[in-house]
Amino acid sequence: MDSLAQELGKTTLSNSVLENHANDVSTTVRSSNKKNKKKGAVAEGEKEQVENEVLRDTEPDADDGDDDDEDEETETTGASATTATGAKKKKKKKNNKKKKKVQTDPPTIPVSALYPSKIYPEGEVCEYKNDNLWRTTDEEKRALEKQNSDLYNDARRAAEVHRQVRQYARRHIKPGMTMTEICELIENGTRTLVEAKGFESGIAFPTGCSLNHCAAHYTPNAGDKIVLQYGDVCKIDFGVHVNGRIIDSAFTMTFDPVYDNLLAAVKDATNTGVREAGIDVRLGDIGAAIQEVMESYEVEIGGKTYQVKPIRNLTGHSIDLYKIHGTKAVPIVNNGDQTKMEEGEYFAIETFGSTGRGDVHYDMETSHYARAYDIPKTSIRLPKAKSLFDTINREFGTLPFCRRYLDRVGEKNYSLALKSLCDSGHVSGYPPLVDIKGCFTAQFEHTIVMKPTHKEVLSRGDDY
């Protein structure tokens, strides 16, 4: 019996050991499974974190003022989920700001697309001087200025077109180009950027590209083969209008530094005219200031020194709606004119300097024309002339045009008809204006407006 009891005890002990060993194995297996699951969860979490980061990088940004609160909520309420995935889902502030459009080269984007608000950049603002300084803070004048904001905005749109087109032109005009290529470069850019549409917006007058002793009113006619040379002095004068509000601005291009002082003299003279202009200022006083500055310059060309002379029979001018030359002339010499500038008026302050006589006359083939502001009552007898006059009225109205523009709208064999219209007074021709051959002339010009509180140099840019 004792031996049997001992055997049974051994058997029981053995079974207990086996059972305990089995339990240990089971525990080990469960622990191993848990570890494997945890590793899998961590790996899965890391994978999801990488995917989330990739998604965040590829999603467009947008501003969200509640991001911080949402992050805290995610960390608190989503703790168990975060533990399960092994990574916290973080939100990044988004930015939906659209990139501002930039003008192309050559310019192809209308300025209205560059300024979606349709509010265009203000020109250089200059306070009036002396007795008119009070206008700056006067409430009545501020209110009046606000009433005309749409008119100023039209002028600023035209001015921005001018700035962008001329900046492109100044970079790309080079010796070896024909004058026709230069004009078409400028005119095509203007039409595109201002979205040319008849009398709503477009080119204000033919592009002038007068060379050397020719000071103004030259643009190439069809067949013109003149090529820009390294030693040329080229005046680029072009205009833009929006709803008849004209920006008239000009600059001079040279490639030989020998002419630098000539250009400096004329630019300084124009800036002097802009500075002296103001409400109630006498036009003759502006001319006197311009003359004094310009004649203080000398330029040495070919071993000979020349005093820069203002071209006394060329002037700046007032600008009216759809009318490039208003009733007032701004002299560039002291001519004693007592006429005053007035509130609300627009002026082209332009000066011409010359190494010649300082006096111009008509010469060369006419290219510039304009319909008479006051149409004569006499009838047009020639049928072709009547048809041409209808085209001029329809396409240009009172805005100046050139023969290339008539070619562009499909007119043909119009020389006799155009001469007939000039003879009857329905159209006026403006031949090129030249000083003595062999001399050099330069020009700079800005458009300003006499606003109620201050004057604004609408066409001012970084270039001049």
Q: How far is CA 62 from CA 2, 69, 90, 269, 411, in A?
A: 89, 16, 15, 52, 56
Whether residue 217 is annotated as binding a ligand: the answer is yes
> Has 51 been annotated as catalytic?
no
Catalytic residue (one of 320, 350, 411, 456): 350
Catalytic residue (one of 145, 160, 232, 248): 248
Catalytic residue (one of 145, 187, 237, 337): 237
Catalytic residue (one of 317, 368, 426, 446): 317
> Has 237 been annotated as catalytic?
yes
Catalytic residue (one of 162, 213, 241, 325): 325
Whether residue 162 is annotated as binding a ligand: the answer is no
> Has 445 been annotated as catalytic?
yes
Whether residue 325 is annotated as binding a ligand: the answer is yes
Whether residue 241 is annotated as binding a ligand: the answer is no
Cis amide leading into 106 (omega within 30): yes
Whether residue 350 is annotated as binding a ligand: the answer is yes
> Has 138 been annotated as catalytic?
no
**Alpha carbon distance 22, 416 (integer Å):** 121
**Alpha carbon distance 353, 355 (integer Å):** 7
Catalytic residue (one of 445, 446, 454, 456): 445
Whether residue 53 is annotated as binding a ligand: the answer is no
Q: Show which residues are catalytic.
A: 237, 248, 317, 325, 350, 445
Which positions make up the binding site for a divalent metal cation?
Answer: 237, 248, 317, 350, 445
Which positions make up the binding site?
Answer: 217, 237, 248, 317, 325, 350, 445
